[in-house]
Amino acid sequence: MAKRKFKKQIYRYECTMTGEAFKTTREAPNPNDLVSVKAYYELNPDEDDRPEEIKKQLQTEE
């Protein structure tokens, strides 16, 4: 018996703050509440636990 090949469903969403588009294979329960990682850390700078190297690299990219 041959195996069936399943096609994955791809969902496309957009960050409500930055407008950055991204895609995922799971459907979001609240797509209007999605924000990118960058926007999340802008909203919550006290929870930014990334290494200093990453923070500097992101600042130079802007």
20-50: pLDDT as tens digits? 898 999 999 998 888 888 888 889 989 989 8
Within a domain: residue 4? no
Tens digits of residue pLDDT in 6-24: 888 999 999 888 888 989 9
Structural domains in the chain (count) = 1
Q: d(Cα 48, Cα 28) in Å, to the nearest integer?
A: 24
Structure tokens at 22: 């991204």
Please report whether residue 1 resides in a domain. no
Could you tell me if residue 3 is inside a domain? no
Q: Tell me if 39 is assigned to some domain.
A: yes
Examine residue 55 and state whether it is found in any structural domain, yes or no. yes
Q: Which is nearest to 40 in space by CA: 12, 10, 15?
A: 15
Range of the domain at 16: 11-61
Q: Per the domain annotation, does 44 fall within a domain? A: yes
More confident residue, 62 or 47: 47
